[in-house]
Amino acid sequence: MTGHPMPETPQQPIIDGATRLYVIIGDPVAQVKSPGVYNARFAEAGMNTVFVPAHVPSDRFDETMRGIMNLGNLDGLMITVPFKAHMMRLVDRVLPMGAKVGAINAARREADGSWTGDMFDGTGLIRGLKNRSISMTGRKVMLVGAGGGGSAVAVAVADAGASHVSIHDADQAKAAALAERVKAACPACIVNHGAVSFEGRDTFINATPIGMSPGDGTPVPLKGLRPDMLVIDIIMKPEVTPLLAAAQALGCQTVGGRAMLEGQAVEVAEFYRIGKPA
């Protein structure tokens, strides 16, 4: 015996018959980081609740979700690719941002058993930027990527007060459709689509996955990018993408995907009413 106290073993959360469930669904789902984020929040709030991943095969989506959503101790869902648009038809109501984007990434069960869904990809980014004292008000944005993430970001930046949003995607029809959606949702914002141009723009946002994989370059050629521009990349990993590295070398202010992750965690926790009575 040395007389030194033994180090305390960290308290493991107890899962019992009264534990409430939150589930993140996707295909695949092994890559998700949300369980670690929200389980920590549940623990901090003293809730007997656990957040778990569920791999939902795309070809069995409807039948699998009917079973999951009928679990009596399920309080919430998080939705990742490729189900964000599909989930809209399975909830009872969609809040305004989800309706504007045309997709949801979170749903909660209400006291009456009904389900409410909303989209937080874009609003999470806006909150993350606000935490860094960056406002979208009056900004002229060049956005690349009209997929799920790009759609949420486009609507959110326009909704947050951007004066102009220009959208580019390799799929021109997808870019055109998103431009029409943003115009309808945010008529005060000037919206167009087409080729990438930095002329007259003060903000560039990458909402494509280009830069995530080793060997990726920048999502588009950066000719015309200026040191006075804000450059945002919503990719979570690596933290410094080829786009951000090039922009930093030029002297631009840059923001990486962590801002969206942090902002979204707060937004979704509020939506789930973590630590608050339902």
167 forms bridges with which residues in the sheet?
143, 193
Under DSSP, is residue 79 helix (H, G, I), strand (E, B) or coil? strand
**Contact indicator for 50, 42 with CB cutoff of 8 Å:** yes
Active site residue 84: yes
d(CA 23, CA 25): 6
**Alpha-carbon distance values, 209 to 214, 251, 278 (Å):** 12, 23, 36
User: Pick from 171, 131, 169, 163: which is nearest to 150 by CA?
Assistant: 169
Residue of 275, 272, 276 whose CA lies nearest to 110? 272
Q: Mutual orientation of helices 148-159 and 121-131 as an angle, nearest 10°?
A: 50
Query: Residue for token digits 């670690």?
Result: 36
Provide the phi-psi class of 273: left if phi over 0, else alpha when psi is between -120 and 50, else beta. left
From the list 33, 84, 130, 276, the catalytic residue is: 84
Query: Hey, which residues are catalytic here?
Result: 84
